[in-house]
Structure 1
């Protein structure tokens, strides 16, 4: 006689629904909260985006800066672009905006404003600062195949990005760049070389500077210029 295949309630294979666990409830609540946060982030993007292009453009960034009560030339706006990993100077895409604001846990202007001081601290930590410094150069390349930046723009960028940390070195290097006639542009190797120079070389005596090492020639010339200036 064939045995019955029926199972008692509660046995394996029972179709009786299980009560949701605490972990399931937490996951559901977290998912809903994340969804709401993303909605607010997207809504904030729409408030500044150009309706035609679907991007936050320079005009939108100026409006954002006004609401954050910072100048559009404030280094923290460049730091915000770094956090978003924005690819095009003066423009934010929705994906870039989401990436940055989700990371900062900022879904309102008030939260974003409060996040800026912490963002500044984050950028100044190593190796974040080296990454930010290199990013600042790439962000200012306005054309796809562009490899270098003109001297006037480089001087402005140096002052913005590095001036607070290495005031004397930056001021003298800017003075040299504006006085010399050998270089019309600066490339990435020269740009990153100057950060290494500021971190490693004693200033203003240059006692540990060895021109035989792999320094960009522009820095050899800068040291020569400084030593001649010092007499």
Structure 2
């Protein structure tokens, strides 16, 4: 799932401002010693010039500029690191970084140029190994990836984002993906999205500890029934 999305209508400034606060999750304090020497300290002016190098007169880094940005930092658009970066910037819309988002996030990361961000890529990736931070990033992804005029994620987007987030770590993901492929569901709401992560973390791969009377969404009850029938056949 490219975190850089090409087919997205550019939100106007008023609309974007109204919907930019989509999460209250606390960002972690960035670890690492501060650079020594005045010439090496974070420069707000340099960071702003870096932003305008991509945004130009649009005042926003859009899909085409985002692809150039990814190329410059050496990260594929579909790399999960781009999702982690968007989370740090508190970006409201997939494929877009506003000036406010850029300055806020890059200031916290102490990145005012390509080289400094490249030096933080390993750190960004390591955050995925922190259970609490990963949960925040996972929950953030729902609002980040959904069309803002929809309350749910369309199923194609949901499957792609789940593959990005859980594909390499959840043993049951390939089977769950098959279930979604043949299901009647056209989208995934926030409750379902949140519970898929909880399910992946707490339910055994053989489903032996799944409680049919538990408070799981119907989607997951149906997945368990489907998986058991599929295994039996």
> What TM-score bracket applies, with the shorter chain setting the length?
0.7 to 0.9
State the SS of the aligned residue for 1:122.
helix
Correspondence for 1:73 among 71, 74, 78: 78
1:173 equivalent to 2:166? Answer no
**Aligned counterpart, 1:161:** 165
1: CA distance, partners of 2:190 / 2:111: 32
1:149 equivalent to 2:153? Answer yes
**Aligned counterpart, 2:21:** none
**Aligned counterpart, 1:45:** 51
Q: How does 1:25-64 map to 2 (within 5 A)?
A: 37-51=43-57, 53-64=58-69
Which string of whole-angstrom CA distances, capped at 9 and with x for unpartnered residues, describes residues 117-146 of structure 1? 101112431311111001111101222x42
Q: Given the two structures, how large is their TM-score scaled by the length of structure 1?
A: 0.80
For the 8 Å contact 1:89–1:142, the answer to whether it is kept is no
Aligned length: 197
Q: 1:146 to 1:30 in 2, by over 3 A?
A: farther
**Aligned counterpart, 2:107:** 102
TM-align CA RMSD: 1.8
For the 8 Å contact 1:50–1:57, the answer to whether it is kept is no
Give runs of ≥4 in structure 1 deviating > 6 Å.
Answer: 29-33
2: CA distance, partners of 1:217 / 1:159: 21
Q: Which runs of 5+ in 2 are unaligned?
A: 1-35
Structure ranking higher on relative contact order (CA contacts 8 Å, 6+ apart) = 2
1: CA distance, partners of 2:133 / 2:231: 35
2: CA distance, partners of 1:218 / 1:122: 29
Moved more, 156-165 or 121-130: 121-130
Q: Per-residue deviation at 1:199?
A: 0.5
Q: Per-residue deviation at 1:101?
A: 1.2
Q: Which runs of 5+ in 1 are unaligned?
A: 1-28
Q: How does 1:4-43 map to 2 (within 5 A)?
A: 37-43=43-49
Q: Given the two structures, how large is their TM-score scaled by the length of structure 2?
A: 0.80
**Aligned counterpart, 1:13:** none
